[in-house]
Amino acid sequence: MNIKIHSVRFDADDRLLAFIEEKTIKLEVFYDDIIGAEVFLRLDKDTTDRENKLVEIKLEIAGNTLFSKKQCKTFEEATDLSVEAIKKQLLKYKDKVRKN
């Protein structure tokens, strides 16, 4: 799987990039026909509760595109939630494909 990580208007730390890549690559366990993934890291405007870290994952699979967007206090937490959301979508899509 080809993973592209884009940090918008800031430079992401190498540990963060490795963490995101590690979490994203695990999605291959749930579905074999994953072509690639694009991950966007953004700092949202400063909110009162400081949940300003935004992670968007766009997953290209054979015949479809899945998308997840989560906002949390840390990029790691937002990544975990986004990967979980994509995982649910993958399993639902896989089940749908198998029924046809």
> Where are the domains positioned within the chain?
2-99
CA distances from 62 to 23, 69, 97 (A): 20, 21, 11
Give the SS3 label for residue 78: helix
Q: What's the pLDDT at 51?
A: 81
4 burial via Cβ count (<10 Å: 0-12, 13-18, 19+): exposed
Identify the CATH number of the domain defined by range 2-99: 3.30.160.100
pLDDT tens for the chain, 100 residues long, are: 899 999 998 999 999 999 999 999 999 999 989 999 999 999 987 666 678 899 999 999 988 999 999 999 999 999 999 999 999 999 999 999 999 7
pTM of this structure: 0.91
